[in-house]
Amino acid sequence: MLPEKIKAESLLQEINDPAILGFCNKFLALRLDLYDKDIPGNKWFKLKYNIEPALAAGTLLTFGGAYSNHLAAAAAAGKKYGFKTIGIVRGEEPAELNPVLTNALSSGMALHYISREEYKRRNEEGFIKELRVRLGEFYLLPEGGSNALAVKGCSEILSLVNIPFDDVCCAVGTGGTIAGIISSLEPEQQAVGFPVLKDGSFLRDDINELLGNTLTKGKWRLETEYHFGGYAKSTKELETFISTFEKQNAIPLDHVYTGKLMYGVYDLLKKGVFKGRTVLAVHTGGFRPS
């Protein structure tokens, strides 16, 4: 079930952009988007330990918005490992599917669209029972794939990094990835999360809940001002940054997760937040919504 072996050093790419030269000791990108060709980015790590119970159940059901990378990744995992997948999608069915939903559908995921109001019930026991009556038995994976097994998988991400670093930065959607990263920090290290949702400060509680009783060594914080209007929202400023970054560094970004992450890191670098430190940005992959 493991992806093809990839040398850790091939996933680390130093960013020598003149725009940030001198603002830190070293800036590196951990290219998880290159880690597994079928289930790229952080999604492989979040799904890794959820695959076995999904296989045992025969069907996996999960939730996400129209631009949820998680839906496409869960669908790909089902296709690759042999279990059915059901995606409960927030909002009305679009007239034309975006690349994320197209990927999910092509991997065999059955998509069911529900209203935003109904979607708010996704964590209610009664609503889950209703879904079981309608759709049959399934293994339930929460929105974004963030559960204890996802945190366990994401705790292995930093094992790919074979050089010392001070700060690790990543985009935050539901908190599972950064919770796993936080759980594996050394005492002198810190994690900085960049929520891609508007008013993302609530994620602090979600992350603490995912960490549970895990004893953490390092520090962590969230930078909540880089959401560009909310989940899957963008601005001309962000799109210009992404275009410039890609030309300079030959690293693809998307405007849902990784573009906001890199914009935020660049901004903090220029403000002197990481002066003299070695910074690692976790590139969690992502599709390019149209």
Identify whether 97 is part of a domain: yes
Query: 263: domain range?
Result: 8-37+153-283
* Pair (132, 175) in one structural domain: no
Query: pLDDT at position 272, please?
Result: 97
The 10 Å Cβ neighbour count of residue 11 is 19
What is the residue type of 51? I
**Count of helices and strands (H, E) across the chain:** 12, 10
* Pair (116, 162) in one structural domain: no
Query: pLDDT at position 10, please?
Result: 81
* Pair (179, 236) in one structural domain: yes
d(CA 86, CA 286): 20
List the alpha helices (DSSP H) in 250-285: 258-270
Query: pLDDT at position 8, please?
Result: 59
- Look at the block and give the residue holding tokens 């050089």: 163
The 10 Å Cβ neighbour count of residue 83 is 21
* Pair (157, 27) in one structural domain: yes
Write down which residue in 112, 145, 178 finishes a domain: 145
Identify whether 217 is part of a domain: yes
- Residues 147, 141 contacting (CB under 8 angstroms): yes
Residue ranges of the chain whose pLDDT lies below 50:
1-5, 289-290
Identify whether 210 is part of a domain: yes
CATH number of the CATH domain containing 222: 3.40.50.1100
* Pair (26, 161) in one structural domain: yes
* Pair (243, 113) in one structural domain: no
- Structural domain count, the chain: 2
**Conformation bin of residue 144: beta by default, left when phi > 0, alpha when psi is -120 to 50:** left
Query: pLDDT at position 37, please?
Result: 82
* Pair (206, 158) in one structural domain: yes
Handedness of CA 238, 242, 244, 249 (dihedral sign): positive
- Paired strand residues for 128: none
Write down which residue in 115, 145, 175 finishes a domain: 145
* Pair (233, 260) in one structural domain: yes
| Token pair belonging to 156 | 């292995």
